[in-house]
Amino acid sequence: MNSERLNKIIDIYIDKFDMLTDDEHDENMKWRAMHHFKENFDLNAPDFYEMFKFAMSKSDIIINNGTVQPVNGILKLISHEEDTMRGLFAILYEDDGGDLDKRQDKIERFVEETNKLLEKYERGKWKYKQDFRSVLAYLTFFKPEENYLYKSSQCQPFFRYLEYGEEIGYGQCFKLSRYYRMCDEVRQAVSEHQELIETHNTRWGKVNDPQDNLHILTFDIIYCSIVYSFYEFENYTKIIRKSKSDLEQERIESEIDTKRIELEALEAELTNAQAVLDEIPEINLEGQNIKHRMFGKGLVSKQTGSYIEVEFASKTSKFILTTAFIGGFLSSEDVTVLERCKQIESAIALCDKLEKAIKSKQAELDLLIAKLK
């Protein structure tokens, strides 16, 4: 680690501390949010939904944003399967003895299981999907003394700037133990910086949480150094230049995000098209007289779904209702029958088209995810 660069960042953090903690920027909200969660989270609460909603009520901008809403996704799942979600959180929060590989496995399992449930109950709602970052945040809120928040856009360039010889990894290749090892080195340097500790301690009157052991502070320094441009004093862009493999992984992750948004839009269109189909008035011709262009008049003796049986003077025939009327083989004195047949066929054709597009888009997405893995 380049200690000289880290000390420069820390010096700027101290100089900007009053600005970072004022009412406009309020970076103290990280401490307040985690303290609020620890005070209010109860795995055995009678109303798990309301408990989790309140416990996470100060965390919105840390985990949710304008594009994704994983916290809301968890609330949706609790409303559907409360006991299942209690169980998943119990596994996530159980003691792992500091084994970071086991911790990563727990996080990945939580991501996999919750996203399966979201596919079942909230299909197409990509904004509710869980990822490693959001689930690591739930774990950090529960045990901030053992964990670090993570945001790729801040953490990746920070550690490149400090000249670490290894990468944290992206997406499916993210390595928790490597990231924590880097954070631990920064936290150790932070703990030995007396001026920073004295400055940091002045925030307790605002956040009401004097128990922090510097894990949150470590992430706050990482976060603020990017968001508030602490790197302006050097040629930062050149220093953090990414390798070709890094850029390729980022490109694939970006394409995955785009495909997921496109998939969600197609699924929303399909939902609307199905609603239109459902709203078309039902056609019931049983017992009614109709006319065939060759067999003449007939009586609809039976209707089963989209099929009708018609008794003519010479024979009894079976027809697909919409196809027969649209093709002109059958007609009715009720002029609305033909119009409703056309509406039904049009809505079905649109649904079929969207279902094929969704299948194709899902295949594209699966291929990209396979590449990332």
pLDDT the model gives residue 27: 93
Asked whether the predicted pLDDT for residue 88 surpasses 80, the reply is yes
154 exposed, middle or buried (CB, 10 Å; 0-12, 13-18, 19+)? middle
pLDDT tens digits, one per residue of 261-285: 888 788 888 888 888 888 888 899 9
* Three-state secondary structure string covering the chain: CCHHHHHHHHHHHHHCHHHHCCCCCCCCHHHHHHHHHHHHCCCCCCCHHHHHHHHCCCCHHHHCCCCCCHHHHHHHHHHHCHHHHHHHHHHHHCCCCCCHHHHHHHHHHHHHHHHHHHHHHCCCCHHHCCCHHHHHHHHHHHCCCCCCCCCHHHHHHHHHHCCCCCCCCCHHHCCHHHHHHHHHHHHHHHHCCHHHHHHHHHHHHHHCCCCCCCHHHHHHHHHHHHHCCCCCCCCHHHHCCCCHHHHHHHHHHHHHHHHHHHHHHHHHHHHHHHHHHHHCCCCCCCCCEEEECCCEEEEEEEEECCEEEEEECCCEEEEEHHHHHHCCCEECCCCHHHHHHHHHHHHHHHHHHHHHHHHHHHHHHHHHHHHHC
pLDDT tens digits, one per residue of 335-359: 899 999 999 999 989 989 998 998 8
Can you tell me the mean pLDDT for 153-174? 78
Return d(Cα 118, Cα 72) in angstroms, integer: 11
Return d(Cα 226, Cα 370) in angstroms, integer: 31
> Which residues, including other chains, have CB under 8 Å from residue 337's CB and lie 6 or more apart?
283, 285, 325
pLDDT the model gives residue 271: 80
pLDDT the model gives residue 312: 94
Residue ranges of the domains in the chain? 3-241, 267-372
pLDDT tens digits, one per residue of 216-259: 999 999 999 988 888 765 555 555 555 666 667 778 878 887 88
Torsion angle of C-alpha atoms 335, 304, 343, 322, degrees rounded to 10 = -70
With bands split at pLDDT 50, 70 and 90, how would you rate the model's confidence at 211? low
With bands split at pLDDT 50, 70 and 90, how would you rate the model's confidence at 146? very high
pLDDT the model gives residue 9: 93
Share of the chain above pLDDT 90, in %: 59
- Within 10 A of 155 (CB to CB), how many other CB atoms are there? 21
pLDDT tens digits, one per residue of 114-128: 999 998 998 777 788
Asked whether the predicted pLDDT for residue 205 surpasses 90, the reply is no
Can you tell me the mean pLDDT for 180-187? 95
Can you tell me the mean pLDDT for 191-208? 85
| Range in 6-15, 77-86, 143-152, 202-211 with the lowest mean pLDDT | 202-211
pLDDT tens digits, one per residue of 160-169: 888 887 777 7
Can you tell me the mean pLDDT for 6-18? 94
Q: Which pair of tokens denotes residue 208?
A: 């009401």
pLDDT the model gives residue 212: 60
Share of the chain above pLDDT 70, in %: 92
pLDDT the model gives residue 170: 65
Q: How many CA atoms lie within 13 A of 220 on its CB side?
A: 26
Asked whether the predicted pLDDT for residue 209 surpasses 80, the reply is no
Tokens 């067999």 -> residue: 295
With bands split at pLDDT 50, 70 and 90, how would you rate the model's confidence at 72? very high
pLDDT tens digits, one per residue of 307-342: 999 999 999 999 999 999 999 999 998 989 999 999
Return d(Cα 221, Cα 190) in angstroms, integer: 10
C-alpha closest to that of 17 among 228, 232, 231: 228
pLDDT the model gives residue 172: 62
C-alpha closest to that of 137 among 45, 37, 18: 37
The pTM (predicted TM-score) of the whole model is 0.68
Torsion angle of C-alpha atoms 15, 21, 24, 25, degrees rounded to 10 = 80
- Average pLDDT over all residues of the chain: 88
Return d(Cα 330, Cα 298) in angstroms, integer: 10
pLDDT the model gives residue 285: 93
Can you tell me the mean pLDDT for 49-53? 97
Return d(Cα 234, Cα 194) in angstroms, integer: 25
Can you tell me the mean pLDDT for 61-70? 82
pLDDT the model gives residue 19: 95
Asked whether the predicted pLDDT for residue 30 surpasses 90, the reply is yes
Can you tell me the mean pLDDT for 12-31? 93
What's the angle, vertex CA 23, arms to CA 20 and CA 28, rounded to 5? 50
Cα-only R_g, the chain: 30
Return d(Cα 191, Cα 178) in angstroms, integer: 20
